[in-house]
Structures are given as C-alpha cells and as structure tokens.
Amino acid sequence: MQGAENQAQQQGQEQQETQQQGLSQVGGETPDYEKQIAERDEKIATLEAQVAEAAKNAETAEQLRGEIAELKAQGESDRIDFKLQLAGVRSVKAARALLADHDNDADKLKEAEPWLFEATGKHAKGGNAGSDTTGLPNAGAASDEGKTLKHWREIAGLTDDDDTKKEG
C-alpha cells in the first residue's frame, strides 16, 4: 500500500510540473490549454484508478489476513484436541474446560485430573492381562483352568501321580 502512495505522490509531482510548464507557456506564443487540461484530467483519472486499486488490494489483503488468523486459531485448537486424545482423555470438551487452569498443558492436566483420562498401561490393570480394575479376571475371559489347577497342586505338594494311585 505504501508503494501505491509513493507512486501517487510521484504522479502528483509530475502533474505540478506540467502545470508549471503550462504557466511558463502562458507568456509564450500559442499555449495549448485544452491539451494541457486533457492531459491533467487523464492523469487525475489514472491516479484515481490507482488509488481505487490500492484500496481494493488493501481490502483483499486484510480479508486474507483475517482468514489466515482464523485458520491458525483452528489449527491450534485441533492440535490441542489431538494431543488430549493421544493422552487418553475421556471427554475433550471437559478437558478443554479445565485446560486453562493448567497452563494449557495436557500433561499437567493429566497429572492433576487423572479421573479425566483413560487408565492405560500395567498400573491401570494391576499387571494382569484380561482383568478389570479390581484385579479379578473378567467373567467371560478365557482361562486355562487345567494349568492353574496343576500349578496349585504343585504348590500343595500334590502331583498327578497321586491322583492316579487313588483311582487304581
């Protein structure tokens, strides 16, 4: 926009020079006033068109700046949502409501408000695969009862041989 203003100033100076030349010709033999007036009017029209174009470009640039700012804000919002989801948040909306209280840091929020996040890793399951948070196996979970029974028999000092002797 400054370039357009500088160009307008230069053309304004040229117009003043043209007017001064016209005044110096007044004392001359045959001044062509109509030609000078037409040239001046033409320059005025050119300058007005340039000013209109500069204003149009400034308006377009401002509109684009607004769109860029909006997209940047949306990108930042999406980045925060993705980070919360990766951290295992149960509710992004609830996490967003509390995030400002924790310096907009998902890790700080997770540390301060663990109830808001899904439990993951060994600590959440008590180290038992296939069990819920109580540490007990799920009712529908597949298990190897024969292996478990054999393990407990070994601990009790009973062997499979003892069972076969009783039967026979």
CB 106 within 8 A of CB 87: yes
- Per-residue pLDDT band at 66 (split at 50, 70, 90): very high
Give me the pLDDT at residue 43, please.
95
pTM above 0.75, yes or no: no
Distance, in Å, from the CA atom of 79 to the CA atom of 56, rounded to the nearest integer, reads 35
The Cβ of residue 99 has, within 10 Å, a number of other Cβ atoms equal to 20
- Per-residue pLDDT band at 129 (split at 50, 70, 90): very low
| Identity of the residue numbered 132 | D
pLDDT tens by residue, 88-118: 999 999 999 998 898 888 888 888 989 988 8
Phi, psi of 130 (to 5 degrees): 80, 15
Between 70 and 151, the higher pLDDT residue = 70
CB 67 within 8 A of CB 20: no
Q: Could you tell me the CA-to-CA distances from 12 to 3, 5, 22, 39 in Å, in that order?
A: 14, 10, 15, 13
Give me the pLDDT at residue 22, please.
52
Between 163 and 26, the higher pLDDT residue = 163
Which own/partner pairs from 153-157 qualify as long-range (CB within 8 Å, at least 24 positions apart)?
Answer: none
Distance, in Å, from the CA atom of 44 to the CA atom of 52, rounded to the nearest integer, reads 12
pLDDT greater than 90 at residue 126:
no
Q: Enumerate the H helices of 28-143 as residue ranges.
A: 33-86, 92-99, 106-112, 122-125
